[in-house]
Structure formats: structure tokens, C-alpha cells
Amino acid sequence: MQNNMLPDENGHFGPYGGKFVAETLMGPLEELTEAYTHYLKDPGFLKELDDELHHYVGRPSPLYHARRWSEILGGAQVYLKREDLNHTGAHKINNTVGQALLAKRMGKTRIIAETGAGQHGVAAATVAARLGLECVVYMGSKDIKRQSTNVFRMKLLGATVVPVESGSKTLKDALNEAMRDWVTNIDDTFYIIGTVAGPHPYPVMVRDFQTVIGRETRQQCLEQAGRLPDALVACVGGGSNAIGLFYPFLDDKDVAIYGVEAGGDGLETGRHAAPLNAGKPGVLHGNRTYLMEDENGQIIETHSISAGLDYPGVGPEHSWLKDSGRAMYVAINDDEALQAFHDLTKIEGIMPALESSHALAYASKLAPKMRKDEIIIVNLSGRGDKDIQTVATLGGITL
Amino acid sequence: MSRITDCFKNLQEEKRKGLIPFIVAGDPKPGFTLPLMKALVDGGADLIELGVPFSDPMADGPAIQAGSERALAHGTTLHDVIGMVATFRKDNQQTPVILMGYLNPVEIMGYEDFAKSAAEAGVDGVLIIDMPPEEAGELKEILVKHQIDMIFLIAPTTSVERQKYISETASGFLYYVSLKGVTGSNRLDTNSVEESVRVIKQQSKLPVGVGFGIRDAESAAKVAKVSDAIIVGSPIVELVGEMADDSADSLNKISEYLSALRDAIDVV
């Protein structure tokens, strides 16, 4: 089956994906699938979405040739897809704009979201403010501590941030709690999932809203370089920025695709967030996918320097792309990502998010092995302002 | 005929309503589960739902989340839970036991291994909360082969068409979730439960148990009046969480709580 024909009507990407939820959510998911399928073909909806992406988000985002960094790396030409320049500073808003417009069309008045690094929470709170919708964001209490700036941003935007104290107190637990809210308030509430995980139709819907990244990139690369890139690199937590970049290139067989997971302290230590590299398939958060789990099927705690990658699962389409061999999934450790953060900041004057720094670090390993006339495109999925506290603390600096 | 079907048949003949308590296996310590199961039977349980603890219980409220965390803190695994049922069966051949939990621990064990060892231990039914019938084809087939009933949920958001579909896939009984929310919610509306159970019974001949919002004798009686059985989880799990030890006194508190519900539903 062609990669771009998936998922099937029940949300399966080969053995992955699906709808593994309690019965109470089956009706609402069906309603969401119908609404989404309908509006995806509705010219009025699509025009409204395009207008918002252009005038509010600031799209198209530039494709930037990082000449100085490429020169220093001494191999392939590295281009950066500048999702960090979007309104709110990351790719997350592409999806929240889409889902919030859909929520409004469906007559929902209340938006809920989960967040890890806070980027998705900020993006959800932003569009909720823009559209006059109530917004509640669930966030693990551990993440609240390490992303206090984003928590304050959400509050300024009028959102209620609910600390989640259960389990590992991170993104996965925030998702559990958001699901519990949704099941309790389904009549008026729209749940904006921030990544290509969750039950069908979320993985395909979020992908569709994020593929604007790859569509623009493809066109920009053809315009600027006169041809398609040789490799794509993106970080993978849940994997929404990655699938957004990858999807429009899946049938371009000569374009190599690399997803970069969070290697944490190193895959060999077990302290990481790399289910595609070191996990096995299982079922969590409504879909079957690769997971970080113990031998009894309990989900285990993950570790990453970046809160946005600190998730034990991954979007089911990535599991499928891994098994089918169309994409390669690699891991970058905390210290390598941190080095890439400093390099890009000093060499190009661009401060990347720690999430995106994982992709940059892998590109810096890949580029020297490639010819100077070859092209790597890295999805610079977010800006690093939110991470300066973390970076300072790691450097022993008190701000 | 399965132990569950037998049990509901007897209840119907005796014109009684079923009482189905839920506890999390291994909560608060693995050694407590067997005496607790016996205490539940002493308190008047007709069937027992034994929760398999999971790290991410998405459909559960705070009480059962806490119960799962206590059980997992002592390393309770699905293998352990099946072992507890096997031990329970040595002295009790009559009370049906249903395992209720999330899919991932079953996936890891493998459907065939799970069904085979559960059947050998004397498990009568399986309810996987995050596995709707659409995804259950293979597991259902294997459970049927091992003569284990697969129980499914019906919710207030389930259309009549889906009720019919679920009824055709399920066996044993149907579990009606009495409210939109997680386990232990306090939003029970008995009038709407009555109407929903009436509609479900038009689609299916299976008995209907109702759970998710029953907290006390009063709500138990109201729901029992309009259904075949009531399922009570969170209040019991809260009591279990307060147990200091597994002495007769501690266990009596659980039996007494259940007896009060028993008395309340026996007069409806």
C-alpha cells in the first residue's frame, strides 16, 4: 500500500493506530471524524484556515539556508524550515488554529489541551483567546516547574492551567487527565490534542493540519535550490512537526527521511524517550504504537532535557514508517542537543528550542558525510527562548 | 453455560438484583486481595470485578487511580492477578470473577497466553476498558475459545445502532456506564439510567449491570430498581485504601459496607 493512502477508515496505519478508548468516547470520536471529513472538503472552512495561517500565524515560514553553519560542518548544505518564526514560536499553532476553527464550526464553546513543554498549551490558549473560547490546559506538575515562563504566558492569555499530580507528572499524565476532562464534558468541549497521537481521527487530523510545513518546504526548496532535498531531519516526541515535514515527501523515494528521538542520558542507560529506537509496540492513549514500557506492560518514565520530547509513545504513523523502512529513526542524547543549541545560536544567531536542537544535532553528524552539493532540510520546529532557564541551570548560571 | 450466565439466571429466578463490587488486585498490598475477595463474598457479592492495575488508567477517577498506584508500588503484575484468582478458586467455585483493566498488559502477555492462563485460573469474564468491539476481534475469538465471556461497556453517548452492535459482540452481561465521566463521579441521574436501560433491553437479551456513579445504599437501590445488577468500585477502593492491615476487623468494614448495599437492593 502506498504510504500516502494511510490510514484506513478506522485509523489504522498497518498494525498501528486505531481507536482504543472507553466506550463513552466512541460516539464523540465518530462525531469528530464526520465533522473533520466534512470541513476538510468545505471551501469556506479551507479559506478561513488559509487566511488565519497567513495573517495570524505568519505563514509561509521561510526556508533559510544556514550558510555559515554548513561551511563549518564541511559537507551538505543545511537549510532550516523556520517554524520558530510562527506566531507563538513553534509549529504547534498550525494545528491549534485548524482544530479551534473546527471546534467553532462544531458549536463547541470550551477547549481543553494537554501540554508538555508548554508550546502546545500556549498555542491552544492563543487561538482560544483569538476565537473567544474558554480554555483549560492540563500540564504535569514536573513540567510546570521547568517551563514556568510558558505557564505564565498561558495564564496571561486567559487560560486555566491545571497541574497534574498523578503518575510521572509529565506529558503522558497530562494527556490522561485531559481525556478524563473530555469524557466528563463532551457536550460542550473540544479536546485539541497537540500531536499526531491519540485515537483516530487525531493522528490523521493533526497530520493534515501540519503538512502545510512540508508542502511549503517542497515548493521553497524547488524555488531556491532548483531541486528536492536529499535528506529531511526532524525531532520526534509525539512527532507532529516531523510528520508535517515528512508527509508531502513520502513518495519522493530519493529523499532520505530521519526522525530524531530524545536519547536522554543515552539509550544504553534506559533514561531516554526513544520508543522507536528502544521500545516495543503496545497500546496507550487510544492507539497502538511503539512505547516505552516494562516487561509487564506498564508505561515507564521517560527522560529528556526537553519537556516537549518527554513522552513514552509516538504517533502511530511513525511506527508504520519505521517498520516499512521509509523513514529512519535515530536518537540524540541530551548533551549533543545542548551542543547544537549553542552552535546554532552562536553561528547563525538563531536560538533553537531544545526539541529542535535534537534534529540539528543529528544534521550536524549527517552533513559532514555528505557532498557539498547535497541538501539537508532540518525542521526548526520552535524557538529556544522558553528554554533559556534550563540552559542556564545546566551551565550553573543563576538568572 | 458460563458461571456468569448461571449467576444471572439464578438471580432472575430468585428475583434478586446482582451486586458486583470492584477492587484493584494488589491494593493496598498483594497479600490483601484474597482475604478481600472472601470479605466481598461474605458481604453479599454475586460477582467480583478484579481490577488489573495499570500505570495510565485513563477512564478512572482519583479513587481507582490511587488504588492502581498502591498496587503497582508493590509490583502487582497481570500474572500475579491471574494467580490470585487461581488461589481464590480453590475455595470458591461459585462466584464469577471478571478481570477489568486496560489493554497494554494483555498485549504484552499475548492474547493466547493471557486467555489460556486466565481460563485455567478460573477467570469467567474479561472487560478491557480501552478496547471497543471494533478493535476486539482477535482477542474476542481467543477468549471464546477458552470459554471466557468478553464484557463490553455501553455509555450514555452510545447510539442505539451501536448498542445493537455491542450486544451482538458481548456475552455474559452488558455494563452500562451510568454517566458521562470517569469512575467515581458524582453525577448520577437515575431517571436517565432507567430510560437508557429500557432502550438497551430492547436491543439485547443480555442482563444489564450499571456502574460508575453508585456511592451509597440510596443510589444503589435506585439503580438496582431499573437494572439487573449494580457495580460499585470507587467507594470500596477508598475504604481499601484506608485499611491498616488485613485483620478481621479491617475486613469486616468492607463486608459491612457491602452488606448495607445488599440490604438496600434486596428490598427493591
pLDDT digits (tens, 9 = 90+) for B237-249: 999 999 989 999 9
Check whether B268 has a pLDDT greater than 80. Answer: no
Can you tell me the mean pLDDT for A116-124?
92
Q: What pLDDT is attached to residue B156?
A: 94
Catalytic residue among B6, B13, B42, B60: B60
Name the residue among A21, A185, A282 with its Cβ closest to that of B104. A282
Mean of the pLDDT values across residues B128-140?
Answer: 97
CA distances from B62 to A89, A328, B76, B220 (A): 35, 40, 19, 21
* pLDDT score for B244: 86
Q: Nearest by CB to B130, from A20, A180, A296: name it.
A: A20
Check pLDDT > 50 for residue A141: yes
The 10s digit of each residue's pLDDT in B161-188 is: 999 999 999 999 999 999 888 888 877 8
B137: number of Cβ within 10 Å: 10
Whether the predicted pLDDT of B191 surpasses 90: no
Around A146, how many Cα atoms within 13 Å sit in the side-chain half-sphere? Answer: 23
Count Cβ atoms below 10 Å from residue A215 Cβ, excluding itself: 15
Express as a percent the part of chain A with pLDDT over 90: 91
> Phi/psi at A286 (nearest 5 deg)?
90, 0
> Is the Cβ of A62 closer than 8 Å to some Cβ of chain B?
no
Q: How far apart are CA A120 and CA B104, in angstroms?
A: 27
Class of residue B5 by CB neighbours under 10 A (exposed 0-12, middle 13-18, buried 19+): middle
Q: How far apart are CA A102 and CA A99, in angstroms?
A: 5
Distance between CA atoms of residues A22 and B156, nearest Å = 12
- The Cα B52–Cα B101 span in angstroms is 5
**Residue B30 near residue B87, CB atoms below 8 Å:** no
Nearest CA distance, A283 vs chain B (angstrom):
5
Q: Considering chain A, what is the average pLDDT of its residues?
A: 96
* CA–CA distance, A385 with A379 (Å, rounded to integer): 17
Contacts of B166 in chain A (CB under 8 A): 23
Catalytic residue selected from A52, A83, A114, A336: A114
Interchain CB distance below 8 Å, A297 and B108: yes
d(C-alpha B151, C-alpha B143), whole Å? 11
**3-state SS class at B177:** strand
The torsion angles phi and psi of A285, rounded to 5 degrees, stand at 50, 40
Q: What are residue A262's DSSP bridge partners?
A: A273, A332
Instruction: Determine the pLDDT at residue A146.
Output: 79
* Cβ partners under 8 Å of residue A98, min gap 6: A49, A205, A208, A209
Q: Which of residues 180 through 209 in chain A touch B, CB cutoff 8 A?
A: 180, 183-187
Question: In this predicted complex, what is the ipTM?
Answer: 0.95
CA distance A190 to A131: 13
Q: Is the pLDDT of residue B211 over 90?
A: yes
A179: which chain B residues are within 8 Å (Cβ-Cβ)? 58-59
- Whole-number Å distance between alpha carbons of B215 and B236: 9
For B114, the 3-state DSSP assignment is helix
Residues of B in contact with A281 (CB under 8 A): 107
Per-residue pLDDT tens digits for A66-117 = 999 999 999 999 999 999 999 999 999 999 999 999 999 999 999 999 998 8
Q: Strands A63-65 and A189-192: what pairing?
A: unpaired
Would you tell me the crossing angle of helices B234-241 and B62-73 to the nearest 10 degrees? 50
CA distance B104 to chain A (A): 5
d(CA B41, CA B236): 14
CB B233 within 8 A of CB B15: no
Residue B208 in this model has a pLDDT that exceeds 50: yes
Strand partners, A63: A81
B105 and A296 within 8 Å at the Cβ level: the answer is yes
Rounded to two decimals, what is the model's pTM? Answer: 0.96
**Contact in structure between A183 and A106 (CB atoms under 8 Å):** no
pLDDT reading at A262 higher than 80: yes
**Residue written as cell 501540554?**
A115
Q: Considering chain B, what is the average pLDDT of its residues?
A: 96
Active-site residue B49, yes or no?
yes
Per-residue model confidence as pLDDT tens digits over A279-329: 999 999 999 999 999 999 999 999 999 988 989 999 999 999 999 999 999
A356 is catalytic: no
For residue A2, what pLDDT band results from cuts at 50, 70 and 90? low
pLDDT higher than 80, residue A351: yes
| Res A116: pLDDT | 87
Helix (H) or strand (E) holding B83: helix B78-91
Distance from CA of A196 to the nearest CA of B (A): 18
Q: Is B56 a catalytic residue?
A: no
Write down the pLDDT at residue B1: 66
- In three-state secondary structure terms, B198 is helix
Q: Rounded mean pLDDT of B21-50? A: 97
Distance from CA of A175 to the nearest CA of B (A): 9
3-class SS of residue B159 = coil
* A367-A255-A331 Cα angle (round to 5): 55
CA distance A209 to A190: 16
Side chain identity at residue A360, one-letter code: L
Fold of B3-260: TIM Barrel (3.20.20)
